[in-house]
Amino acid sequence: MDNLDDKIDTLIRDKLVSFIQENAARIKRITTKFTQSNKKFTLDHWQALYDSYDKMFRAMPREMLRVEREVRLKFVSTVSEDRVIRLKTMFNTETELLIQKLAKAYQPEFERLGHGADFEARIEKSRKKLSESLDQNIQKCLDAVNGDTGQAKKATVEDLMQLYDVKETTLHGIQIVASLQSINSLLAQINGDAGLKEILGNFQDGFRHMFQDIQKNRSTDTATMEARKKFKMEVARDAMTVREIVLNTEPFLEQWALPEEKRNSEIIRKSWANVFDILEGREGRWQAVIPNFKPLYEFMCGEGG
C-alpha cells in the first residue's frame, strides 16, 4: 500500500509542477499583453496576475484528487483515513507555499497602489475556496473509490467497456474511468417515462460513437513520415477532446442527482456550454453527436419533456 501511496504522491507532485509551469507561462503572456498596451505595473496588471494564480488554485484540488481517484480505481485500492490526512497535509503545505510566494511578489504592489486591503481580502477568499474545494473533492474521491451504499452499484471497467464499446487502454489512457463510472451511476438514478429513457439511451450512444471513432484502425502504412506524425497528433487531440467532454458532462449530471430546489442552474448552463463549445469546435469534428446530448440538457432545463 505504501508503494502505491508513494506512486500516487509522485504523480500528484508531477501534476503540481505542470500547474506551476502553466501558470508561469500564462503570467508571461499576461505581462507581455500589458506591456504592449503600456499598462504594465498598473492595478489591472497586478489583478490579472493574481487571477492567474487563482485559476491555478481552482484547478488544483479537482485535478490532483482526480489522479488519486484514477490510480486507486485502476489498482482496486481504497482510501484510508490516514491517507486522507496525508493528502490534506501535502495539499495544504504546497498551496500555502504558493500563497506565500504570491503574497511576497504582489502584496507590496497592491499596497503601493492603495489596494492592500483588497489584496488581503483576495488571499482570504482564495484560502477559503481552496479549503472547501479540497474537502469536496476528497469526499468525491472517497465516494468513487470506497463506494457509497446509498448510490447505484458502481460499474466495473469491464462494464464500461461493454456498455460503451470502448477498449480498456482507451479508458485508462485518457484517464476517464472514475468520471465515466460516476456518469453511469448518475444515469442509472434517473427515472422517467419511455421518452426520457430514449433521451438517456441517445445520450449514451453519443459517447459510444465518439469512443468508436477515436479507436478506428486507420491505416497509415503508405503515408509519409510527416503524414503519420500528423495523424498521430490528430488522434491524440481527438482523444483529449473526448476526455474534456466526459469531464464536463460529469458536473452537468451531478446536478440532476440533487433535489430540484438545490440544483444550480448556472452549473448546468456552464457545463453544457463547455460541452457544446467542444462539440462545435475542431472544424465541426463532433457536430454529429450534438443531437445525442442536447435533448437531455433541454429536458433538465424544462425545455424538453
For 229-257, the pLDDT digits (tens) are 777 787 788 888 888 888 888 887 888 77
Angle at CA 157, nearest 5°, toward 91 and 183?
A: 70
* Cα distance between residue 272 and residue 274, in whole Å: 5
Residue keyed to cell 469546435: 281
Domain closes at, from 118, 146, 174: 146
Residue keyed to cell 500528423: 230
Domain closes at, from 146, 171, 194: 146
For residue 258, give the C-alpha cell. 440533487
Is 196 a member of any domain? Answer: yes
Mean pLDDT of 175-194: 77
**Minimal CA–CA distance to 102: which of 78, 83, 119?**
119
The pLDDT of residue 287: 85
Please check whether residues 207 and 137 belong to one and the same domain.
no
Q: Is the Cβ–Cβ distance between 255 and 263 less than 8 Å?
A: yes
- For the stretch 253-305, pLDDT in tens is 888 777 778 788 888 888 888 888 888 876 667 888 899 988 888 887 764 44
Please check whether residues 124 and 161 belong to one and the same domain.
no
Higher pLDDT, 130 or 154: 130
Higher pLDDT, 282 or 60: 60
Please check whether residues 203 and 137 belong to one and the same domain.
no
* Cα distance between residue 133 and residue 131, in whole Å: 6
Domain closes at, from 146, 177, 212: 146
Please check whether residues 268 and 294 belong to one and the same domain.
yes
Is 51 a member of any domain? Answer: yes
Q: Is the Cβ–Cβ distance between 181 and 159 less than 8 Å?
A: no
Least confident of 93-107, 150-164, 200-214, 274-288: 150-164
The DSSP string of 22-53 is HHHHHHHHHHHHHHHTT-TTSHHHHHHHHHHH
Please check whether residues 138 and 194 belong to one and the same domain.
no
The pLDDT of residue 191: 58
Sign of dihedral through CA atoms 131, 12, 279, 188? negative
Q: Is the Cβ–Cβ distance between 65 and 141 less than 8 Å?
A: yes
Q: Is the Cβ–Cβ distance between 304 and 295 less than 8 Å?
A: yes
Confidence band for 149, pLDDT divided at 50, 70 and 90: very low
pTM summary value: 0.52
Is 152 a member of any domain? Answer: no
Higher pLDDT, 218 or 199: 199
Is 305 a member of any domain? Answer: no
For residue 75, give the C-alpha cell. 489498482
Please check whether residues 126 and 16 belong to one and the same domain.
yes
* Cα distance between residue 140 and residue 59, in whole Å: 15
For residue 297, give the C-alpha cell. 440538457
User: Structural domain of residue 228, as residue ranges?
Assistant: 157-300
Which distant-in-sequence residues (6+ apart) come within 8 Å of 160 by Cβ? Answer: 166, 171, 177, 180, 181, 184
Q: Residue 106 pLDDT more than 80?
A: yes
Please check whether residues 105 and 226 belong to one and the same domain.
no
Give the dihedral of Cα atoms 167, 149, 72, 174; nearest 10 deg: 30
Give the dihedral of Cα atoms 208, 211, 217, 222; nearest 10 deg: 130
Q: Is the Cβ–Cβ distance between 203 and 293 less than 8 Å?
A: yes
Least confident of 35-49, 138-152, 256-270: 138-152
For residue 298, give the C-alpha cell. 433541454
Mean pLDDT of 96-108: 95
Confidence band for 118, pLDDT divided at 50, 70 and 90: very high
The pLDDT of residue 15: 92
The DSSP string of 128-168 is HHHHHHHHHHHHHHHHHHH--TTSPPPPPHHHHHHHHT--H
Mean pLDDT of 159-164: 87
Find the helix packing angle between 157-164 and 194-214, rounded to 10°: 90
Please check whether residues 213 and 279 belong to one and the same domain.
yes
Mean pLDDT of 5-29: 94
**Minimal CA–CA distance to 50: which of 139, 132, 115, 144?**
115
The pLDDT of residue 200: 85
Number of structural domains in the chain = 2
Q: Is the Cβ–Cβ distance between 285 and 241 less than 8 Å?
A: yes
* Cα distance between residue 133 and residue 58, in whole Å: 8
